[in-house]
Amino acid sequence: MTSATSPAHYLQRMPKTDLHCHLLGTVRATTFADLARRCGLDLPAGPEVIFRDINSLPPNPKLYEQTRIPVPRGRAADEPEVSYSLFQVSHWIAEALRDADDLTRITYEAFEAAHRTSSVRHLEVSFDGLPPHLGSLGYRGAVDAYAEGIRLAERDFGMSGRLIAAVDRSTSAEQALARVRQVVDNPHEYVAGIGLDNLETAGPPERFADAYRLAGEAGLRRTAHSSEHAPVAHNTITCLDLLGCDRIDHGYYVLEDDDVVARCRDERVPFLVAFTTSRRSWRPWRRASIAAMIDAGLNVVLADDDPGLFPTTLTDEYRIAAQDLGLDRTKLRAMALAGVDACWLPDNEKAALRERFLTELTELDALDALDDAETPA
């Protein structure tokens, strides 16, 4: 029989925050299948097959020839013959969403899965612009539908949650500013901030200075995908200094510049990272990069990014940290608490969440000590 605090159970039961999670990327294969069949979505294969074969191909390899941690060039052993990119599948999921109840459903299921698989106590999910068939809802109607999913999850699972309005970096500066103005003009208690998504090579952070300035003036929190696809560290400095970000999504290529690493270490900039990616061939590189970030003393907080599509769970990410990187419980506990510090709850709620974490971690350790005492020598 497995003890209550075996390594696997301990990692699953550790309280966690998940602060870097794309809502469309949380959708389960079964939910997508249900939505796609209901609306008669024309797909090249069955939904279950598409989810099984998600594998985003790497961008131009010439960009990554001189990186400090070598980026793999070959195929991964588990790459399917026919691949479906993360962006393509996310587009199909958006196409299958047809009413407000669908938005509430996928939000609630995201929280349910995080609670059930990973003991997530606080979840922040980013949402894109309106799905193609939901223009009539408008921005506010969509946000209300997402928020209803969070309220139901808070009631059922004792969690807290917030929404992050995603800015698509493949759009123009003017379009990004319009997106943020929409957020600012329609304040909502559950929308805590904005994030900059999509391929980093599609839009440099400088393009979004005006949009981020408007968000900051309105009191919104700010984050951005940075140093993830562009193999440079200076984008992260731009995100911190020009965009006013208080945390960074990914950030692996900060390792290209020792001065940037030193600054980010000294300022305790939170980096929300995930070992698992839809680029299967890059997964070993991700692990090596995150290990190097931790070794460099950076403030690394684990996330799961697109858990329904990779697939992964936050517990899986913690398990990789424990088993592959050799992080002990003390370091994993510190990482979980760093997630509380980096979250976008109001200060009083954040303080209460930290106390909850400390209590639950103490209880887990007490169970662990009891198991050790009862185990025959």
Per-residue pLDDT reduced to its tens digit, 292-323: 999 999 999 999 999 999 999 999 999 999 99
Residue 175, domain member (yes or no): yes
Residue 251, domain member (yes or no): yes
For 19-55, how does the pLDDT look when each residue is reduced to its tens digit (9 = 90+)? 999 999 999 999 999 999 999 999 999 999 999 999 9
Residue 2, domain member (yes or no): no
Using a 10 angstrom Cβ sphere, with 0-12 exposed, 13-18 middle and 19 or more buried, the burial of residue 256 is middle
| Total number of domains in the chain | 1
Residue 375, domain member (yes or no): no
**Four-residue CA torsion sign, 55, 59, 60, 63:** negative
CA distance 8 to 11: 5
For the cut 70, the answer to whether the pLDDT of residue 279 exceeds it is yes
For the ranges 108-117, 260-269, 360-369, which has the lowest average pLDDT? 360-369
CA distance 61 to 65: 7
CA distance 352 to 138: 34
At 268, which CATH number?
3.20.20.140
Residue 176, domain member (yes or no): yes
Residue 377, domain member (yes or no): no
Token pair of 117 as six digits? 């698989």
pTM score: 0.96
What mean pLDDT is predicted for residues 336-349?
98
Location of structure tokens 């979840």? 123
Instruction: Give the residue numbers spanning the domain of 261.
Output: 7-364
Q: How confident is the model at residue 59 (pLDDT cuts 50, 70, 90)?
A: confident
Mean pLDDT for all residues in the chain: 95
Q: What is the pLDDT of residue 2?
A: 46
Give the contacts of 335 (CB within 8 A, at least 6 positions apart): 300, 301, 302, 321, 327
CA distance 71 to 283: 10
Q: What is the pLDDT of residue 5?
A: 62
Residue 369, domain member (yes or no): no
For 223-269, how does the pLDDT look when each residue is reduced to its tens digit (9 = 90+)? 999 999 999 999 999 999 999 999 999 999 999 999 999 999 999 99
